[in-house]
Every structure is written in C-alpha cells, then in structure tokens.
C-alpha cells in the first residue's frame, strides 16, 4: 500500500485511473446489457419486430417513428419491400447527407437486416414486394426486345448504353454498369428518387425481364468491347478528348521528332 501511495503523484497516475474507470464502465455495461436475441428466426412477426427495431435506430430520424415521413424524408407507408431492398441494398439509405440526390455507396446493413426492415415497411401498407429470382434472371428473356424498350423508355436519362446522364440542378441518372439485375428490376418497379416508376400495370413483368437481360448483355464488365478501349462509353465528347490529347498529341510529338532529325548541310 505504501508503494501505491508513494506513486499517487506520478505523472501517469491520472491516466491509469481514467483507464481503469473506462474499463470498469464498459465491462459492467457488457455484463448487464440485454443479450442480443438469436437472429435466425423464420417467423414473419419476429422479422417485423426486428425490422422495427432497426428502423427506429437507422431510419426513423428522417422517416418518422411509424414511417409516416417528415419534412426531410418521405412517407414509407405503401412503398413496399422492393423499395427498401433497393434503397438499403444499394447503400443509398440510410442517407449520409441531404443533397440534390442521394448517391449509391457501400451498403451498411446485411441482407438479413435489410429483409427485416423490408418486412417491417411492407407491414405498414401494401406495396411492390421484392422480386423473385426467376422474375429478374436474364434466362429466357428477349434481349433485342429489351434493347428496344430500353431505348424507348430509359435511354433519354440513362444513355443508350446505360452509362448514365445528367438531370437538372445536380441530379443525375446513375450508370447501370455493374448493377445486379435485382436492383434494376426493383428500380423500375418502385421508381426511386427522380426516376419514374414502371409498375406492372404500365410495363408487364416480361418486359422488365427483357430490359434487365439487355442490360446484363451489354454490361461492360461482362461483355467485350468490340471496337477496343471504350473511353467511358460516353460518345463523341470522350472520343474528341482522346483524339485531341492522344491523337494530335502523338502527331505533334512525331512532328517534333522528325523536325529535330535533319541532315546537316555539307559544304561541297
């Protein structure tokens, strides 16, 4: 004890005390906090229960406690589970900050949690539900018809090859390159953010499947680019830049090289 009291004025004493106090608080919390319930419960009501809990933590700030919406977040009653799966699955929700448009980012919930939140939101009112795999899988779809539909309905914002485009005031239609078929299907179904929705009454499921199959076919990550480097697939703007910088740049470099190499005048 004498040793301890002798060191109580040591410069590090305060730090040691602080550390002990923190460890004690944390340890006590861990010991007394309610243990998490087992996640793997197949019962629908349990999923809704869990979803509600997750919702209260991650979503209620903007969308209000019962999903009725606030001035910063729209009402979620009747948006259906497909909307939740799209928004949370692509990382758009929960939003980081308000802005012209909420961008896609790394998603923070696991698929199980997303399903739970989706179950809770679906319980608030009827809406489009998450499509099944055979609804959006490209197998057996008419790719050419999908392309025709895409150019008619989607290309004016997303570009003919799905590379995205600008909308007014900083909003934009994102690129569709590398987006899993499920999310493309859900986006058409629910019309997230600035996108119009294409419910089954407007565009039958077969046509959505065709569009998804077309996009899957032309996706740059899976299909070859026949002409060589894609240059972003942005058309004449990037082609012009490439032509000026690399084409004309190379020409000038070559011209300088040729002009620098000249025969020396010989006195004869």
Partner 1 sequence: MSTASHATNDATARRGKAPAGERVADWADGRLGIYSLAKANMRKIFPDHWSFMLGEVALYSFMIIILTGVYLTLFFHPSMQDVTYSGPYVPLQGIRMSEAYASTMNISFEVRGGLLIRQIHHWAAIVFIAAMLVHMMRVFFTGAFRKPREINWLFGFLLLVLGMFTGFTGYSLPDDLLSGTGVRFMEGAILSMPIVGTYLSMFLFGGEFPGHDFVARFYTIHILLLPGIMAGLLVAHLILVFYHKHTQFPGAGRTEKNVVGMPLLPVYMAKAGGFFFLVFGVIAAMAALASINPIWEYGPYRPDQVSTGAQPDWYMGFSEGLIRAMPGWEINFLGHTLQLGVFLPLMIFPLVLAAIAVYPFIESWVTGDTREHHILDRPRNHPVRTGVGTAWIAWYMVLLLGGGNDIVATHFHLSINAVTWFVRIGFFVLPLLTFIATKRICLGLQRRDKDKVLHGRETGVIKRLPHGEFIEVHEPLSQEKLYTLTQHEQPKPIEVGPEVDENGVQRKIGTMTKVRAKLSQGFYGEGSQIPKPTAEEHVEITSGHGHH
- Residues in contact with partner 1 by the rule CB under 8 A: 100, 143-148, 151-152, 155-161, 163-170, 172-173, 214, 217-218, 225-231, 233-244, 246-248, 250-252, 254-256, 258-260, 262-263
Min dist CB 219 to partner 1, Å, is 11
Min dist CB 94 to partner 1, Å, is 21
Q: Which is nearer to partner 1, 150 or 183 (CB)?
A: 150
DSSP string, 109-170: S-HHHHHHHHHHHHTTS--PPPPPHHHH--TT--HHHHHHHHHHHTHHHH-TTS--EE-GGG
Q: Which is nearer to partner 1, 109 or 214 (CB)?
A: 214
**Residue 178 in tokens:** 């590398």
Q: Which is nearer to partner 1, 52 or 163 (CB)?
A: 163
Q: Which is nearer to partner 1, 80 or 181 (CB)?
A: 181
Q: Which is nearer to partner 1, 60 or 160 (CB)?
A: 160
Q: Which of 227, 220, 207 is nearest to 147 (CA)?
A: 207
* Residue 16 neighbours by CB distance under 10 Å: 11
User: 159 φ, ψ to 5°?
Assistant: 80, 145
Tokens 């259906």 map to which residue? 80
Q: Which is nearer to partner 1, 199 or 240 (CB)?
A: 240
Min dist CB 167 to partner 1, Å, is 7
3-state secondary structure of 264: coil
Write the DSSP symbol of residue 246: I
Min dist CB 255 to partner 1, Å, is 4
DSSP string, 157-213: HH-TTS--EE-GGG-EEPP-TT--HHHHHHHHHH--TTSPP--TTTS-HHHHHHHHH
Q: Which is nearer to partner 1, 145 or 197 (CB)?
A: 145
CA 68 to each of CA 65, 78, 87, 96, 119: distance values in angstroms, whole numbers, following the listed order: 7, 10, 17, 20, 16
Min dist CB 204 to partner 1, Å, is 19
Contact 55, 117 (CB under 8 A): yes
Min dist CB 199 to partner 1, Å, is 22
Min dist CB 149 to partner 1, Å, is 10
């Amino acid at each position: 004890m004498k040793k301890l009291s002798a060191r109580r004025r040591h410069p590090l004493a305060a730090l040691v005390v602080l550390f002990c106090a923190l460890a004690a608080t944390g340890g006590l919390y861990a010991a007394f906090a309610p243990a998490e319930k087992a996640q793997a419960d197949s019962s629908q009501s349990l999923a809704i229960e869990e979803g509600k809990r997750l919702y209260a933590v991650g979503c209620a700030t903007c969308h209000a406690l019962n999903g009725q919406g606030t001035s910063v977040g729209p009402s979620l009653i009747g948006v259906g589970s497909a909307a939740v799966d799209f928004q949370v699955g692509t990382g758009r929700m929960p939003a980081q900050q308000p802005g012209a448009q909420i961008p896609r980012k790394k998603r923070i919930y696991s698929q199980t949690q997303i399903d739970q939140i989706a179950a809770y939101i679906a319980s608030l009112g009827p809406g489009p539900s998450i499509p099944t795999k055979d609804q959006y899988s490209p197998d057996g779809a008419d790719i050419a018809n999908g392309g025709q539909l895409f150019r008619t309905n989607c290309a004016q914002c997303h570009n003919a090859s799905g590379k995205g485009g600008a909308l007014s005031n900083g909003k934009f239609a994102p690129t569709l390159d590398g987006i899993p078929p499920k999310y493309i299907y859900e986006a058409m179904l629910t019309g997230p953010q600035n996108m119009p929705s294409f419910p089954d009454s407007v565009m039958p499921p077969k046509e959505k499947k065709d569009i998804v199959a077309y996009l899957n076919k032309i996706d740059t990550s899976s299909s070859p680019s026949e002409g060589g480097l894609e240059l972003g697939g942005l058309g004449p703007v990037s082609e012009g830049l490439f032509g000026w910088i690399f084409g004309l740049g190379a020409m000038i470099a070559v011209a300088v090289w040729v002009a620098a190499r000249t025969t020396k005048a010989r006195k004869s």
